Each structure stands twice: as structure tokens, then as C-alpha cells.
Structure 1
Amino acid sequence: MAQKYQTQGAVPYPHIGQFLRKYFAAKGVNRAEVARQLNIADSTATKYMAQESLQFGILWKISVAVNRNLLADLASHLPIAYTTPRETALETELKALQEEVNALKLENKIYKDLLK
């Protein structure tokens, strides 16, 4: 019988083991090497790939081992629009840079007109 936390709600969550298996295959990640980094048996890592749900701490450790924010990758599957503070800061910086580029283009045009 499934645990209560494993019962899918109106918005189902992705199968974490399948998510990890697909990520490892796509990026050529060696499961045995990740298991060594996590100090677990390779068979335990294999069991992780079969589980529908994994503890946050395990996902955190795997993310560190593969040098990838797998938690953010999973969060991108949520049907909720969310912008991180880092994204907001980057958008602000991008807007400022675009304004600077536009000002420099205008300045460049003025100089070209003066040279004619």
C-alpha cells in the first residue's frame, strides 16, 4: 500500500527515479561514480532510480555530486510561475544593459552624422 505522501494529487509530481535516470543518461553521468561520491552502495543508487519519490536530502546530495541544481530542474515542472531573486536581478541587469546599448547606438549615430 502506498504511503500517504506518495498519493498523487490534482497536479501529479514527476517520478523522481525516472527523472534521475533520464538525466544521468542524457548527460552521461556514471551512476557508480555518483554512488561513490555519496558513499553509498551502487545497488542503493540503483534503487533510487526506481523510486517514485526521494527525500530532499538525497536529491540535494545527488545535485552536489553531479554539480547540477536538480531541485530547480524538478521545480521547473511545477505549474506555478515563479521567478527566483537571482532571475529578477539578472532581468534588471539585462534591462539596464539594453538601455545602455540603446544610448550608445544613439551616440554612435550622432557621431556618424557629425562626420558626414
Structure 2
Amino acid sequence: MEQIGYQKSQGEIRFPHLGGLIKRRMKERRVTNSEMARKMGVTSQTFGSYLKNESLQFRILWEAGLALEYNFLADLMADLPEKVLNSAASKFQDVILAQAEEIKDLKKEVAILKEVLKG
């Protein structure tokens, strides 16, 4: 996955330019500003201002994702620093670990079933 363009905040903290992120995904999917504005129920001028903003309300990002049928949250999660993404308190990480364990168990079961069918 390509890295998201970053803007500097105060100090060393960096964050993605969300308007630019939406703009890139629109370009990939060949969706115009006016089409996005219509799908999101805002004027073209309002939507154009969204694209210029480095920070957007969650609602705007959510609606843009629905309009494009694209998961912006996955992009943002993938770009989190490793120490944040793999935090022990992360529910997301817990789900991944549980699914990995389930996959491991299912692979064992498949191997056993293949042996039974051969016999």
C-alpha cells in the first residue's frame, strides 16, 4: 500500500493530508469533484474545500469512503507507527492474533482430513 502524504504538525508529530488522500483515490477511480459532491450531498464548492484541508471531520472522511466505496480507515491504520499499531491494548491486533490462531488450527484440520481421505 502506498504511503499517505504527510504534513507536519507542531513538533515532530506528522499526520496525513486527508483532503489529498481523498483526491488521490478519486483520481484512481476516475470520479469527478461534482460527482463526489452530489454523492455526499454537498455543493461542489464545499467539496472542493474538503480536498484542500489536511484535517477533516470523521463524518466527512466516512461519507467520502461510502461515496467511493473505499476504506480510508484501512489506509490510515496501515500508516500508523509500528509501536501504535502493535500496542498490546489494540483490539485490532487482538483480532488479528485470534484469526491467525484459528487459521493455524484450520490448516491442521485440513491436513488431517486429507490423510483420512487418502487412507
Number of corresponding residues? 105
Q: Pick closer, same or farther for the CA change 1:67–1:100 going to 2, 3 Å.
A: same
Amino acid at match of 1:30: T
d(CA) in 2 for partners of 1:93, 1:18: 38
Bigger drift between 58-67 and 83-92 goes to: 83-92
Partner residue, 1:93: 102
Gaps of 5+ in 1: 1-5, 112-116
Alpha-carbon offset, residue 88 of structure 1: 4.4
Report if the CA contact (8 A) 2:22-2:64 is conserved. Answer: no
Bigger drift between 79-88 and 47-56 goes to: 79-88
Gaps of 5+ in 2: 1-7
- Over the matched positions of the two proteins, sequence identity in percent amounts to 34
Partner residue, 1:114: none
Structure with greater Cα Rg = 1
d(CA) in 2 for partners of 1:34, 1:96: 44
Whose strand proportion is higher, 1 or 2?
2
TM-score scaled to structure 1, two decimals? 0.72
- How large is the Cα RMSD of the aligned pairs? 2.4
Partner residue, 2:56: 54
TM-score scaled to structure 2, two decimals? 0.70
